[in-house]
Amino acid sequence: MLVFGFQGFDSGTMNVTSLYASETATASGNSLKKSDSHRGSRIEGLAAIAAVEPILKPEKESDRSKIERKLRSLIRKPLPDDPPSEFPQQADQGRSLNTPVAADQATLAIKDSAAGMAKSAASMSPVAPPISSGSSISTISPRVPASSAIAGTAASPPGSSMGAAGSGGSSSGGGRSMQNLMRQLPGLQQLLTAQPATPGPPSELIATPAPPLGPPQAGLPPAPLNWPAYHVLNRLAYGGTLNQLNTVSHLTAQEAAVWAVRYMKEQLELDPTKPWPTNLHSTEPLPAPIQLNDSALSQRLAADRADWRTEEGLPDVLSPSLSELQDYDLIRKVYSRRQLREKMVYFWDNHFNTNYRTHSKGQYELAENEAFRANAFGKFLDLLMASAKSSAMMIYLNTDVNRKENPNENYARELQELHTLGVDVNGNPNGYTQADIVEAAKAFTGWTTLDVARPGFRFIAGRHSPGAKQFLGQTVGGNGGGPGEGEQVLAIASRHPATAAHLAKKLCVYFISDRPSASLLNEVAAVFTDSGGDIKKVLIAIFTSQDFNNVANYRGLVKTPLEFVVSLHRNLGVWSPIDPFRNRLVRMGQGLYEKAPPTGYKEAADEWLNTDTLFNEVSFAYEATIPGFGSTIRYGSDTSGGSARLWLKSLNLTTEADVLGFLLNLTFDRQVSLTEYQTYLTTLRSAGGTFNLDNSNVETPIDRALATMLATPRYKYQ
679, with CB counted inside 10 A (0-12, 13-18, 19+), is middle
Residue 213 and residue 678 in contact, taking contact as beta carbons nearer than 8 Å: no
Decide: is 408 part of the binding site for another protein (CB under 8 A): yes
Q: How far apart are CA 304 and CA 321, in angstroms?
A: 12
Q: How far is the CB of 667 from another protein (least distance, A)?
A: 12
502 binds another protein (CB under 8 A): no
C-alpha atoms less than 13 angstroms from C-alpha of 679 in its C-beta half-sphere: 14
Cβ nearer to another protein, comparing 151 with 552: 552
For the chain, the residue count is 718
Considering only the stretches 249-257, 320-328, 470-478, 610-618, report the one whose residues sit in contact with another protein under the rule CB under 8 A. Answer: 610-618
> Distance (Å, rounded) from C-alpha 393 to C-alpha 398?
8
Tell me which of 275, 426, 688, 694 binds another protein, using CB under 8 A.
426
- Please list the helix, strand and coil fractions of the chain in percent, rounded to the nearest 5, in that order: 50, 5, 45
Is the separation of the CB atoms in 236 and 341 below 8 Å? Answer: no
Residue 220 within binding range of another protein, rule CB under 8 A? yes
Specify the stretch interacting with another protein by CB under 8 A; choose among 309-317, 453-461, 572-580, 709-717. 709-717
Candidates 610, 652, 690, 696: give the one binding another protein (CB under 8 A): 610
Q: How far is the CB of 66 from another protein (least distance, A)?
A: 33
Q: From the list 351, 498, 683, 684, which residue makes contact with another protein (rule: CB under 8 A)? A: 683
Instruction: Give SS3 for 541.
Output: helix
CA distances from residue 688 to 653, 683, 691 in whole angstroms, order as listed: 19, 10, 8
Q: Which of 85, 517, 550, 583 binds another protein (CB under 8 A)?
A: 517
Nearer to another protein, 276 or 717 (CB): 717
Binding segment for another protein among 207-215, 322-330, 614-622, 656-664 (CB under 8 A)? 614-622
Q: Give whichever of 142 and 627 is closer to another protein, judged by the CB atom.
A: 627
Spatial distance between the Cα atoms of 170 and 183, rounded to a whole number of angstroms: 11
Q: Is 419 in the site for another protein (CB under 8 A)?
A: no
- Specify the DSSP element, H or E, that contains 503: helix 497-511
Q: Please count the other Cβ atoms lying within 10 Å of the Cβ belonging to residue 634.
A: 23
Between strands 310-311 and 474-476, the pairing is: unpaired
Shortest distance, position 316 Cβ to another protein, whole Å: 30
Please identify, among the stretches 96-104, 217-225, 317-325, 637-645, the one whose residues bind another protein according to the rule CB under 8 A. Answer: 217-225
Which C-beta is closer to another protein: that of 31 or that of 434? Answer: 434
* Contacting residues for 108 by C-beta, under 8 A, at least 6 apart: none
3-class secondary structure, 160: coil
Structural element, H or E, at residue 393:
helix 391-396
Binding mask 518-547 toward another protein (x if CB under 8 A, else -) reads x--x--------------------------
State yes or no: residue 273 binds another protein (CB under 8 A).
Answer: no
Burial of 10 per CB tally in 10 Å (0-12, 13-18, 19+): exposed
Give the residue, chosen from 675, 690, 695, 697, that forms a contact with another protein under the rule CB under 8 A: 675
Name the minimum Å distance from CB 704 to another protein.
Answer: 6
In the complex, the smallest distance separating the C-beta of residue 366 from another protein, rounded to whole angstroms, is 24
Task: Catalog residues that contact another protein under the rule CB under 8 A.
Answer: 219-221, 398, 401, 403, 405-406, 408-410, 413, 417-418, 423, 425-427, 514-518, 521, 552, 555-558, 587-589, 596-599, 605-606, 609-616, 618-619, 622, 626, 628-630, 673, 675-676, 679, 683, 686, 700, 703-704, 707-708, 711-714, 716-717
